[in-house]
Amino acid sequence: MSVLKLCTARSAGVLPLTKLSLLSPGCPRCLQLRRRSAGSSEHPWDFFRRNYSSFIVKKDDGNNQNCGRAHLLEVLEARMHQLQADNVTEVKCTEVQFMDEINVTHLESHTKSKNLTFLPAREFKKSINPSTAAPRKERTTEKQPGKKGCVQTAYPKSTFAPKKWIEKLDQEKRNKTKRQLSIMKKMKETFPFPKTKEMPNAKSMEPDRKSASKGNSAKNSAAQRGNSNASGTRRVVDVNAESMKAILAEVEKLEQQLNNRDPSAKQFEGDEGNKYVDTQQNILTYIEACAFNNDLDRAHQCVMSNHRILTRRKQLNIKIYSTLMHLWAKKGSLDQIGKLFNLVEEAGLKPNLDCYVAALECMGRLENCSVHVIRRCIQQLEENGFQIQNIFKTCIFHKDEREMVTKAIRVVNPNFQPLSEPEAAICQSPLVSRFYAEVGPVEYPKLDLCLSELRERFDRQLKKEQADTVTIDSVEATKPVTEKMKKMRKRLADLRTKWQKSLLRAFHEYKFQLAGNGNCLWRMNLYPYLCLLDDKEYVDIMLQCIVSIHPNGEALVTIAKELGNRIYNKYSIRKKIKNEMVDKTRDIYHAYAELLAKDTELNNFLPREYMTHLERKMNAGPSLFSEDSSWSDVLTVQLGTHLVDLMVREIKIPINIQHQTREKSLIPVLYHMYSFRSNKQIGFIKPHPILMQILSEAAETTLSFDSCVMPMVCPPIPWTSPKFGAYVLTPTKLMRCVEGAVQHQLLLEKCSRCDLHAVLDSLSQLGNCAWKVNKPILDLIISIFNDKGSEKLEIPPPHSEAPAMPKYDPKSDMSPATKSSLKRKIAWVRKRSAEMHSLRMDALYKLSIANHIRHEIFWFPHNMDFRGRTYPCPPYFNHLGSDVTRAVLLFAEGKPLGEHGLNWLKIHLVNLTGFKKSCSLKERLSYANAVMDDILDSADNPLTGRMWWMNADEPWQTLACCTEIAHAARSPDPTNYFSYFPVHQDGSCNGLQHYAALGRDVIGATSVNLMPCEVPQDVYKGVAQQVEQFRKQDAEKDVKVAQILEGFISRKVVKQTVMTVVYGVTRFGGRLQVEKRLKEIEDFPKDYVWEASYYVVQQVFNSLKEMFTSTREIQDWLTESARLIARSGSSVEWVTPLGLPIVQPYHRTRTTLLRSNLQNLKLQISHDATQRPDTVKQKNAFPPNFIHSLDSTHMMLTALYCYRAGITFVSVHDCYWTHALTVDIMNKICREQFVALHDQPILQDLSRFLINKYRYNIPVDKKPKRLQEYKKMMDVLSKVLTKGDLAVRSSVCCLQRPSHHTCSMSYVCRGTVEAGND
């Protein structure tokens, strides 16, 4: 690989080659060395070694003291060449020279030259003197005895010495080949014997041991010594010779394929580079933070300090070097960029396209950059396999970088024009081929908003995210303000002012300590991260955190993560603003709004398609998104912990603030203490009771949130890639995962863009649904919330209603039993108080946000988890919430009820009550008409009437539906009544439905309503009846526990276990679920709870085996496949039928010790892909995660085709929402997509993918046991599962719980019996 080198040029011509690598005559290091040698008795070489001890390989220099000063240059020259051959790049020798890496910015200002030639060294030599192009022979010198310090090490005369890493790499390859040949030879010699073979003794094994690796040598020698001491006893190996031959032949074939395989195919486990992924991420984020702060010296010294030491050089990747190149490009320093190219070569890396972009950007910023320099840069770019046009297709530009690169290219090619990115290919999945097929004109639905209003809404959202903090009024503000409240609020404001000053002073001092002096810039610390925001912003974040701490304390790690994440979010927003992305984003969104506005004609694009089209059209200026490196979990906690330390030390309160006394000492507001959880000692931060009392009495009326917590006031930006979508500025992941896990993002980025189109479009469709608040229901809930709440209606009471803490006097004369009982009661009161506080605060946040946007139309941007299940991004207030939250949400767009809409509202009401779970739709509608008086009374007098709605399973949604029915029934024409109310259609044990369809299980399909029937089937009730049959049989056989359970087997007892068994619940977990239900039954004898729960769960599993014959076989196959894959050293991966790649992030836990002033934290990291997979978690999680991925695929398909049909669609996993008018259309689409999904060979495709993915997991040692496990894995993965006789397409008439037989309506529904996430 040729290296880009910067050479000084003069106007008269090019300098001679021997002068090219010399530094300026005013090099500070050379001058310092000369002065030191002239005026000091200390040997100059010792001075040099002391200053460069961090990167020079230490040799024995005992005889250096005998060398006179006359030999200094000769010694140093030899040493320079030796170090040059050892890849120490900071010392280069043509004559004798030193490169000073301290304060490089200052040095650059003295050595920078304007006229530069940009040529690889070898090519440059050829251009000057063709006769010197021939390779020169190396000159070698022999060692002189007794003069180690004066030895001239052999080195080539050419500009570049051979790299030892290349020799080491070749040697490793040769050793590996020898080792493999030796192992294969021994195995082929061992296994042909049909029965037994005598193992050779230690002597006979000696030659083979020598050819083996060093790591295996010790093991083999120990084993052979054991064999020799056993006086020649024979070891018997019972191996089937033919089967082992077949395995070996297959292994050899796979090894040949493995040699030709893409090295990036195995991304996560086992490769050498991933050992440093955490360190590389930390260094990269450190460099980016320095870049944001314009601290070039610190960033440069950080890279150089790691590059100098060979053992730490692997911690640098090409992204780090390219980021530093961009920093130098901003300074216009082409010389430094050339040096970085040299470092890239010495690190054994290949420059990526971004490196050349940095070089071209720098050339564009130079006023008189030579055409020859730019031409050679472009030529080498193309020689390395890149194309100029790819720069504008794949690279990300900030500020004016795009213009500078274009300017440099046009110096060579004045007519150059960047080509617009071609249209992406259409998703090839057969499930969405009809959706993306361009047959005739396509018209997509629009929002009921005009263009000007959409643009104004976007500007408001942009300002909100730029401020990144939103302050709203609390719903508790409706309480009357007393004099005591005013007094406490003033006192609290005074305290906050003092705390702010104290924290600012301490924060300044802490930053000053970390900043250090100029000689320690290479040390990585938290200083750059403390300069990302204004000091006051850090202090405000700390002060806001105080209010949210639980009265009983909160874990230090939890608080630290919250603080670190808030700083990262603010930093990401500031970074986008600094990179000048705001104006371009505004222009593109204003144009994008034409697709959604009702007063425009443009409607033949999907949101993603049109946004991508606008990006290509407006391709000037910065890119729309930036590759922000996420902070590691360790960095986030470390930063947050230091801020917590400042809070504990600096935030104090007068001890006499509540009761005026003479004592005026200050006490801390926050205390650091330890507590035990599950036998683990955990650090806690607990607020002082005085602070909690002041906060309670002040009853503040405002709450502060990050902008990402609030719903958006404009339609979200459609997802166009895994890196861009949802919020305008706030960083949002397409696939949410555990903090620090990177394997999901790597998989998404590796995917072809068209493979993700269906997933991206479905998320955009879900986010484009507009909402508004149901004001009458919200006002009613707030009134009860401020009036001590109601546990029956799921409105948590205030902390004042918590049970009183019993008094405990350790000195009192109590019996041990009484003390034990009192301690248990105290623990229960503490737990109950903590639960009430959490629930109260959660409800306060949700209701306050809803009240803040009560007059707004708003949107919920969506993303997904690693299984593909979708979630709204705002965490508190959304439609995935509780019954209270769902009741206050309405569609912003209304539609007339139509002919059957009112009937659907009535059926939905009965479903919410849960009163008619086993009845047909006709019976449910009849029941609704029969209780019409109660419905109207509930709507008119919700708190003073008969309150029929309060007895429902979902009382608040029931009340909201009663109100909607009352308005529709009293309207002049119910068919024309505009309804904004969402009607839910919930799934019927959705996981078992997928299992039954996968296995074509007729009996199981009937139990979960995949087959037509007169009345809806209830699988929970069916299992309960089957368990009751088993109980009766055992009771007749005098089984005592079966007799005790008489009359106690019910649907409620078995429901949770049946529901979760499909998601991998074990008998142990199922027993705990049944035990909980039995304890809730007052009449059940408590002495038999454990025995009865064990008996019931056994019978539940037996019942499911009889009802779902193929389900257990599929589940066992998935479990065993995951177990064998994990044992082979890989995580389980698969691809959904829509093309979404999935990997399970379960690995063995790695403990990281984080030191801080407060305590040493042990962070448990279980998502590190460099660790071996956790076999237990991998195998237990694969069946439920695979079914979840199928469920999400079905939902996404339904969302896409509902969007094509022009109807509103929203989902809560397997619970689908739409208008009453369009329920029948949604049900039809839902059934069609379920059938289309299971018409695909899902299990066959999964088997094929797993075989192709894991066939390369060949055991390295090739031991017989490992080979047999590998053979077993391949056999299990290729196993053909037996299926039943169910024809999925024929079951289209009844996909979900209600039967196809309806009332007067002649259409079919998806239906629901229970609301929520059953």
Which residues are part of the catalytic machinery?
A: 986, 1055, 1214
Cross-strand pairs, 726:
717
**7 within 8 A of 116, measured Cβ to Cβ:** yes
Structure tokens at 948: 């029929």
Contacts of 950 (CB under 8 A, 6+ apart): 792, 793
What secondary structure letter does DSSP report for 1301? -
**504 within 8 A of 534, measured Cβ to Cβ:** no
**410 within 8 A of 854, measured Cβ to Cβ:** no
Torsion of CA 1091, 1096, 1102, 1108, to 10 degrees: -150
Distance CA 884, CA 942 (A): 15
Contacts of 445 (CB under 8 A, 6+ apart): 1203, 1206, 1207
**717 within 8 A of 726, measured Cβ to Cβ:** yes
**985 within 8 A of 1309, measured Cβ to Cβ:** yes
**745 within 8 A of 1141, measured Cβ to Cβ:** no
Distance CA 292, CA 570 (A): 13
The helices-and-strands tally (H runs, E runs) of the chain is: 48, 26
Structure tokens at 658: 């509540």
Residue 65, classified by CB atoms within 10 Å of its CB into exposed (0-12), middle (13-18) or buried (19+), is exposed
Distance CA 315, CA 274 (A): 10
What secondary structure letter does DSSP report for 1173? B
Distance CA 670, CA 662 (A): 23
Distance CA 325, CA 405 (A): 14
Q: DSSP assignment of 411-471, as one string? A: HH-TT--PPPPPPPPPP--TTSHHHH---S-------SS-HHHHHHHHHHHHHHHHH-EEE
**996 within 8 A of 1279, measured Cβ to Cβ:** no
CA atoms within 13 A on the CB side of 296: 18
Give me the amino acid identity at 501.
K
Residue 77, classified by CB atoms within 10 Å of its CB into exposed (0-12), middle (13-18) or buried (19+), is middle
Name the 3-class secondary structure at 709.
helix
Structure tokens at 847: 């209701």
Residue 805, classified by CB atoms within 10 Å of its CB into exposed (0-12), middle (13-18) or buried (19+), is exposed
Identify each DSSP E strand in 678-773 by its residue range: 680-687, 702-706, 717-721, 724-726, 770-773
Give me the amino acid identity at 1247.
S
Residue 1085, classified by CB atoms within 10 Å of its CB into exposed (0-12), middle (13-18) or buried (19+), is exposed
Contacts of 532 (CB under 8 A, 6+ apart): 289, 292, 293, 567, 570, 571, 574
What secondary structure letter does DSSP report for 861? -
**1144 within 8 A of 1138, measured Cβ to Cβ:** no
Residue 879, classified by CB atoms within 10 Å of its CB into exposed (0-12), middle (13-18) or buried (19+), is middle
**84 within 8 A of 155, measured Cβ to Cβ:** yes
Sign of the dihedral defined by the CA atoms of residues 793, 794, 798, 799, in that order: positive
Name the 3-class secondary structure at 1314.
coil
